[in-house]
Amino acid sequence: MKMTKLGYFSEFLLFPPLVLVAALLAFRSSIPPQPVIWTIAYGAGLVGWTFFEYLLHRVLFHHAPILAPIHERHHHSPNELIGTPAWVSVLLGVIVFAIPAWATLGFDLGTALTAGLVTGYLCYVFVHYATHHWRPRRGGYLYRARLRHARHHHLSHAGNFGVTTGFWDHVFGTAIEGRAPRPDDAKGQRLGESAMRTDAGRILLVDSAFLKAFE
């Protein structure tokens, strides 16, 4: 669904207090967790989010009956703020992540793992917004993320599913890596388009506006 900017970023107002309260409860328990172990569990959640992000985008956003049409609308109107309400994200986060983590690892470490996942998710929301609405400095992290995500939108919907990182795309062979086009790549191209050759040698036609955005 289309959202206002306040609605789109309201998760940044809801998730951090919930995680903070849970973390305080964990450390105020009769047997508080060791900070080092807690930090490791937090890091595992942060890294684990990147893998879940990849699967979420590749499998659910492009193939699930309810989510795929919503995501397709995002592809048609990438600058619109399209997403799910914050309360839905919180509810899914508790059911899908927090409760299983608490049941498996206990409240203390389960909270640490969940906190890492939530941090990764908020990073994803921020980076995804930046890739569509910012013009980041050339060569920086957000620039590379923007270029990687633009290839997903403009070159092929079957690759570059990772937004915060391209690591899992390389692991599973879905990375789309292109170089700057050569003059002979453009032979026979349609009007208003430029060509880009992928690492696999395949020439793809892409809107000139896409390449111009990264000059």
Is residue 24 located within the same domain as residue 129?
yes
Query: Is 146 contained in some domain?
Result: no
The pTM for the full model equals 0.80
Per-residue model confidence (pLDDT) at position 187: 38
Domain range for 21 = 5-133
Is residue 28 located within the same domain as residue 114?
yes
Final residue belonging to a domain, choices 105, 133, 161: 133
Query: Is 35 contained in some domain?
Result: yes
* Alpha helices per DSSP H over the chain: 5-9, 11-27, 35-55, 61-63, 67-76, 86-92, 99-133, 141-154, 167-171, 208-212
Per-residue pLDDT of the chain (215 residues; tens, 9 = 90+): 677 888 888 899 988 898 899 888 888 876 778 889 999 999 999 999 999 999 999 999 988 887 888 888 888 888 888 878 888 889 999 999 999 999 999 989 999 999 999 999 999 999 999 999 988 888 899 999 999 999 998 888 888 999 999 999 999 999 988 644 444 443 333 333 444 444 444 434 444 444 444 44
Is residue 18 located within the same domain as residue 117?
yes
The rounded distance, in Å, linking the Cα atoms of 187 and 66 is 41
Is residue 201 located within the same domain as residue 126?
no
Q: Which pair of structure tokens corresponds to residue 16?
A: 């951090």
